[in-house]
Structure 1
Amino acid sequence: MALNVSGLVALVIFYVMTLAIGVWASRKSKKEKNLQPSEVAIVGGRNINFCIGLFTATATWVGGAYINGTAEIVYLPSRGLLWVQAPVGFALSLLVGGLFFVQPMRSKNYVTMMDPIQEAYGNVMGSLLFIPPLIADIFWFAAILASLGATMKVILDIEGYLAIILSACIVILYTLLGGLYSVAYTDVIQMIFIMFSLWICTPFAITNSATKSISYTAVHESFQAPWTGKIEAQYVARWLDDFLYLVLGGIPWQTYFQRILSASSPRDARLISYLSGVGCFIMAVPSVLIGAVAASTDWNQTDYGLPTPHDRGDSSLILPLVLHYLCPMYISIGGLGAIAAAVMSSGDSALLSASSMFAHNIYRKVLRKKATENDVLWAMRLSMVAFGTIASVLAFYSHSVYDLWFLGGELVYALLFPQLCCVLFIPSTNVYGSAAGFLFGLLLRLLAGEPSLKIPPVIHYPGCSLVDGVYIQLFPFKIVTMLVTLLTIVSVSYLATFLFKANILPPEWDICHVCEGLLCPHRNIIRTGPALIVPRGYTQRTQP
C-alpha cells in the first residue's frame, strides 16, 4: 500500500481551514471588552448564539470514539445493534440535564461545574473532586487521538504518530488562542463536515458488490451472526447498568456545563440541551449502517481478504476499513475528514474543560487567591499545553488509554455525580458527608476490579464469573456504587450536623465549621465562626 498523496493534501487543507476559523474566532472573543477575559475564554461571556451553541454541544459528544465505537459494536458478532447504547443514552442524558440541571446551574451564573461544589464543600474537597474529571478529560483526548492515528494509518498509509502530533498541535493552538469562541466556531464547520461526509459514504458502502443486503443479514446468519445482536438473560442486569451509566454519568462533565453556561439565556440553555440530544442520536445512524455493512460483507471479495477484521483483531478499525475497502478513494478521503473533524470537535472540548477547571477552580481559588485576570488566562493556556502534551504521549498506548478512559468515566459517575446532585438539590449536606462519600465510593469502585486493566475484584458481587481467566462482574455494581456514595454523603452529613448541634461532639472538633449559622441549644448561641451572633432574648456571654 502506497502513501495516499491526494488524501494527505485534502487533510492538510481541512486542518488549515479549521485553524483559520479558530484564529478568526479568537479575534471575536477579544471584542468582548466589558467582561472578564477569563469568563470570555471559559463560557464565551455567556453570549454564545443559539445555533452555534447547538452545533458545539452536539459536536462535543459526537467524537471519534463515538462514531468509531458505534460502528464497531454493531459489527462485533458478540454484540450487535442492541448493545449500541451511547446514542440513546446520551440523548436521554442531555434530556435529563436540561430538565433538572440547567436551571440551578444557569440561574446562579456559575463559571464551571466545580463552582457549586467548592461553594458548598470548600476548596479541599473541590480540589479532590477535580481529579476524576481531569483524569477522564485527559484520557478522553488521548483515546480519540489514538483512534484518529489508527484511521489515518489505514486510509493514508502514514504513521499514526504523525496524525496524533499534528492533530494535537492544531487543537491546542486554536483552543489556546480563543477559548470557547474558537472551540464553538470550529465545531460548526466540523459538525457540518461530519454530517455530509458520513452520509455520503454510507450509500457507496451499502451498494458495494461484496456486501449482502443489510435488511437480510439483520435477521439471517450470513458471514456472521445477525448484526442486530441479542441480549442474553445473564447480561440483562449488566446492560441496564451500562445504560444508566451513560444516562446519568453523561451529566457531570464540564464539557456539557460549559455549553449550558455559555448560552445567552436559561431558555436557550435548556433548548440546546434537548436538541443536542436529538442531534447525537441522528449522528449515530451512519455509523450504525456502516457497522451493519461490515457485518454483511464477504471480505474475501475485497482487497482486505481473509481472515476477517474480527479474526485479525481489527474490529476497532471497522469504520475506516469499510471506508477504505468498500468506497471509492475520493469518498473514503471524505470519511477520513469526518473522523478527523469528530476527533477535533471532542478533543478541543476535553482540553478546554480540563484547563478551565484548573485555572478557575484550582489556580484562582486555591493556589493563588490574589491572581489577576491575566494570571488566570496564562494559567489556563499553560495548562492546555501541559494537558494536551500528556494526552498526545498517552495516545501512543491506545489500548490501555481506552481502558483508563472508561475507568475515569466511571469514577466521575460514581464520585462526582452524587456530589453534584447533593450541592444542587440537597443543600443541607456538608463537607463531612462529601469526604466520606468520596472515600467510600472510590474504595468501593476500586474493589470491584477492572478486567480490562487486569485488576482482580476483591468484592465478588452476585453473578461474578471467571471468563477466560478474568473475573467479570455481571451485577449492576456501577449504579450501586453511585447510590451508596449518594447515601453516604447524605447520611454522614445529617449525622455530623446532629452530633454537633446536639452538643454530643464538642464544637472544637468541628474543624470544617459545618455548624456555622446553626443554633446550638446547649449554649444558647449561634456559632458563626470566630465571632458570636447573639439571638434576640439571650444575654451575650463568652464561649466556655
Structure 2
Amino acid sequence: MALNIPALIAAILFYLLTFTIGVWAAWKTKKDGKNSNQIELAIVANRKMNLFILLFSTTATWIGGAYINGTAEITYLPKGGLAWAQAPVGFFIGLLIGAIFFIKPMRSKNYMTMMDPLQEAYGNTMANFLFLISLIGDVFWFAAILASLGATVSVILDIQSYLAIIVSAFTVVIYTLLGGMYSVAYTDVIQLILLIFGLWMSVPFAMMNSASKSIANTVIREVYQAPWIGKIEMDYLGKWLDEILYLSLGSIPWQIYFQRVLSASSTTQARIATSVGAFGCFFMAVPSVLFGAVAASTDWNQTSYGLPSPFERGEAGMVLPIVLHYLCPTYVSVIGLGAIAAATMSSADSCLLSASSMFAHNIYKKILRKKASAKEVLLTMRLSMVLFGSAAAGLAFLSHSVYDLWFLSGELVYTILFPQICCVFYISNTNTYGSATGFLFGLLLRLLGGETSLKLPPVIHYPGCRLVDGVYVQLFPFKTFTMLVSLAIIVAVSYLSTFLFMHSIIPIHWDICNVMKGKTSTISLPRSEEVELQLNPLHGRGNESEN
C-alpha cells in the first residue's frame, strides 16, 4: 500500500476546520463573557447554552469513535453479532433514565460539577477517592477514542497510528484549553453534521460491493461466517443482562453528561437535549451495525485485502475502516474517515473538559487552595488538560481491543459511582462512613471478579463461571451484583453508624467524620449526661471542613 494522498489532504482539512471552529468559539467566549464568572463560563457556559447547540453537543458526546468502531466490531464478530451490540440500547435507556430522575436534583442547587453533591454530602476526603474513579473513567474513555481513530487512520491513510493519536490529542487539548465548554459545544455541531453525512453516505457503497452478499441473506444463514444477527444462549443470559444494565445505568454518573445538563438554561431544556441525545445515539448506531453486517457478509478473497479475514488476522477492531477502504471508492472512504475523526473529536474534548473541570473546581479550589483566585483555578484547569490528554494518548498506544478498552472505562464508574450518586439524591441520611465502606467493598468485589483485558483472573468464581478458550468468563451478572452490594452497604453502614452513635454504643468522640454534628437528638453519654447537638445544613452526612 502507498500513502493515500487524497485522504491525507481531507484529514488535514478536517483538523484545520475543527481547530478553527474551536479557536473561534474561544474568542467569542472571551468577547461575550468579559463580565461573567470565568470559571462558570469555562465549565458550564454560564448556564446559558443555546438549545440548538445543546442538542448537538449532547448527542455528539456519546457518539465517539469507540462507539462507532466498537458497534461495527461486535456486530461483525462470529461470536458476537447484533444481539451483543448492546451499547446503542444501553445508552438510549441510560439517557432517558437520566432525563427523568437525575436532571432535576442536579440542577436544583446550581452545582458546577457532578462531584459537588458528593463532596457536599460525604466530605473532601471521600471526594478525592470518588474523583479518582471518575478520572480513571474519563482518561480510559479518551484513550479508547484516540485508539479507535489511530486504527482508522492507519488503515485508510497507510500511516502509523501513533501519528493520528498525537495530532488528535494535540488538537483537542489546544481548542478545549482555549475555549472550555463553548469550544467543545460549537465543535460538536460541525462534528455531528460530518458524522451523519459521512457514515450514512458510505453505507450504500459498502452494501453494493460485488464482493459482499446481501446482508439479508446472511442475517440468519451462515455463508462466510456465523450469521451476523448473533444469538444469546441461555447460559450467557446473565452476562448479557449484566452488560445491558452496566451500559444503561453506568452511562449516568459521568461529568460529560452532567456538564451539558448544567450548561442548559433550564431544567426543561436539559431534559429535551438528553431525550433527543438518546434517540440520536440509537440512530447513529445503525450505520455501524450495517458496516459490521457487510463485513460478515463479504468474501474477502475477492478484495485486495485478501485472506485471511479481519477476524482471523486479529483486526476485528478495525473492521469499519477496513470496509470503508476496501469496499468503497476512494472518495467515499475519505469522507468516512472524516466521519470517524469527527466522532472521535466530539467525545475526546468532552472527556478532557470533564476531568480537568472536576480537578480544578473540586480538588484544587475546594481542597488544596481554598483561597485560589479565578485566574489560578483556570490555569490549573488548563495545565491539567495537558496532563490528562498526554496520559490518555500514552494509554492509546497500548490498547489492543477498542471494545474491551471502552467497556473497561466505565466498569468502576458503574460499580462505585452510580450507587454513591443514587444515595446522595434519593436515600436520605447516608453518611461518610457508609460512602467509604461502599467504595471499598465495590472496588474489592469488582477486582476480585477478574478482568480479562487486564489479565486479572477471577478470585471469586460466581455461579456459572467457566473457562472459555483458556480465559475465565463470569456468566453471572457480577457487575450489577457488585453495584447492588455497594449500594446496600452504603445505606446499611450509614444507618448503623448513626444508630450506634445516637445510643452511645460507640462514644461520640470517635465520630471522626463528624456525621453526628448534624443530628438533633438527645444522646446518652457514658456519665448519663444529655447533650443536644445543633442542626447542620448537611443533615448529618458528614462535615466537609473536617474531611
Which TM-score band applies after superposition, normalised by the shorter structure? over 0.9
Between stretches 93-102 and 392-401, larger displacement belongs to 392-401
* Alignment match of 2:532 (pick from 526, 530, 533): 526
- Identity in percent: 65
Q: How does 1:176-215 map to 2 (within 5 A)?
A: 176-215=177-216
Q: Deviations over 1:297-349 (max 9, x none)?
A: 11111111111111111111100000000000000000000111111001001
CA contact under 8 A between 1:513 and 1:529: conserved in structure 2?
no
Partner of 2:545: none
CA contact under 8 A between 1:432 and 1:492: conserved in structure 2?
yes
Give the whole-Å Cα distance in 1 for the aligned partners of 2:463 and 2:327: 45
- Supply the AA of the counterpart residue of 1:87: P
Between stretches 89-98 and 50-59, larger displacement belongs to 50-59
Partner of 1:366: 367
CA contact under 8 A between 1:217 and 1:226: conserved in structure 2?
yes
Question: 1:380, CA displacement in angstroms?
Answer: 0.3
Partner of 1:8: 8
Give the whole-Å Cα distance in 2 for the aligned partners of 1:402 and 1:354: 22
CA contact under 8 A between 2:451 and 2:457: conserved in structure 1?
yes
Question: 1:123, CA displacement in angstroms?
Answer: 0.3
CA contact under 8 A between 2:66 and 2:402: conserved in structure 1?
no
Q: How does 1:404-483 map to 2 (within 5 A)?
A: 406-483=407-484
Give the whole-Å Cα distance in 2 for the aligned partners of 1:43 and 1:392: 25
CA contact under 8 A between 2:324 and 2:333: conserved in structure 1?
yes
Q: Deviations over 1:410-456 (max 9, x none)?
A: 11111100000001111310000000100111111111111222111
Give the whole-Å Cα distance in 1 for the aligned partners of 2:163 and 2:314: 23
SS of the residue aligned with 1:108?
coil
Partner of 2:23: 23
CA contact under 8 A between 2:69 and 2:402: conserved in structure 1?
no
Stretches of structure 2 lacking an aligned partner (at least 5 in a row): 537-547
- Supply the AA of the counterpart residue of 2:531: I
CA contact under 8 A between 1:73 and 1:83: conserved in structure 2?
yes
The 3 A distance-change label for structure 1 pair 331 and 408 is closer
| Alignment: residue pair count | 530
Give the whole-Å Cα distance in 2 for the aligned partners of 1:366 and 1:529: 24
Give the whole-Å Cα distance in 1 for the aligned partners of 2:64 and 2:220: 30
Partner of 1:290: 291
- Supply the AA of the counterpart residue of 1:497: T
Partner of 1:156: 157
Partner of 1:240: 241
Question: 1:516, CA displacement in angstroms?
Answer: 1.2
The 3 A distance-change label for structure 1 pair 425 and 42 is same
CA contact under 8 A between 2:317 and 2:402: conserved in structure 1?
no
Q: Deviations over 1:9-61 (max 9, x none)?
A: 11111111111100111122221234310111011110111111111111111
Question: 1:500, CA displacement in angstroms?
Answer: 0.8
- Supply the AA of the counterpart residue of 1:484: V
SS of the residue aligned with 1:170?
helix
Question: Is 1:500 aligned to residue 492 of structure 2?
Answer: no
- Supply the AA of the counterpart residue of 2:369: R
Q: Deviations over 1:82-101 (max 9, x none)?
A: 11111111011000000000
Give the whole-Å Cα distance in 2 for the aligned partners of 1:241 and 1:265: 34
Q: Deviations over 1:89-139 (max 9, x none)?
A: 101100000000000001111110000000000000001100111011111
Question: Is 1:44 aligned to residue 55 of structure 2?
Answer: no
Give the whole-Å Cα distance in 2 for the aligned partners of 1:58 and 1:191: 8
- Supply the AA of the counterpart residue of 2:522: C
Q: How does 1:68-467 map to 2 (within 5 A)?
A: 68-399=69-400, 403=404, 406-467=407-468
Give the whole-Å Cα distance in 1 for the aligned partners of 2:369 and 2:190: 38
SS of the residue aligned with 2:533?
strand
Give the whole-Å Cα distance in 1 for the aligned partners of 2:128 and 2:503: 31
Give the whole-Å Cα distance in 2 for the aligned partners of 1:477 and 1:154: 37
SS of the residue aligned with 1:471?
strand
The 3 A distance-change label for structure 1 pair 374 and 402 is farther
- Supply the AA of the counterpart residue of 1:51: F
SS of the residue aligned with 2:311?
helix
Give the whole-Å Cα distance in 2 for the aligned partners of 1:83 and 1:408: 18
The 3 A distance-change label for structure 1 pair 374 and 218 is same
Give the whole-Å Cα distance in 2 for the aligned partners of 1:408 and 1:48: 28
Tell me the TM-score normalized by structure 1. 0.96
SS of the residue aligned with 2:49?
coil
Partner of 1:542: none
- Supply the AA of the counterpart residue of 1:467: V
Q: Deviations over 1:490-516 (max 9, x none)?
A: 000000111111122111011111111
CA contact under 8 A between 1:133 and 1:408: conserved in structure 2?
no
- Supply the AA of the counterpart residue of 2:77: L
- Supply the AA of the counterpart residue of 2:176: T
- Supply the AA of the counterpart residue of 1:206: M
SS of the residue aligned with 1:515?
helix
Q: Deviations over 1:162-201 (max 9, x none)?
A: 1111111100000000000000000000000000000000
Question: 1:80, CA displacement in angstroms?
Answer: 0.7
Question: 1:401, CA displacement in angstroms?
Answer: 8.1
SS of the residue aligned with 1:174?
helix
Give the whole-Å Cα distance in 1 for the aligned partners of 2:55 and 2:435: 34
Question: 1:520, CA displacement in angstroms?
Answer: 2.6
The 3 A distance-change label for structure 1 pair 269 and 185 is same
Between stretches 415-424 and 395-404, larger displacement belongs to 395-404
Question: 1:149, CA displacement in angstroms?
Answer: 1.0
Tell me the TM-score normalized by structure 2. 0.95
SS of the residue aligned with 1:378?
helix
Q: Deviations over 1:220-254 (max 9, x none)?
A: 21111111111111000100010000010000000
The 3 A distance-change label for structure 1 pair 196 and 393 is same
Cα RMSD, aligned residues only: 1.3
Question: 1:404, CA displacement in angstroms?
Answer: 5.4
CA contact under 8 A between 1:146 and 1:396: conserved in structure 2?
yes
CA contact under 8 A between 1:503 and 1:520: conserved in structure 2?
no
Stretches of structure 1 lacking an aligned partner (at least 5 in a row): 531-544
Give the whole-Å Cα distance in 2 for the aligned partners of 1:170 and 1:115: 29
SS of the residue aligned with 2:101?
helix
CA contact under 8 A between 1:90 and 1:280: conserved in structure 2?
yes
Give the whole-Å Cα distance in 2 for the aligned partners of 1:79 and 1:134: 30
Partner of 1:539: none
- Supply the AA of the counterpart residue of 2:313: R
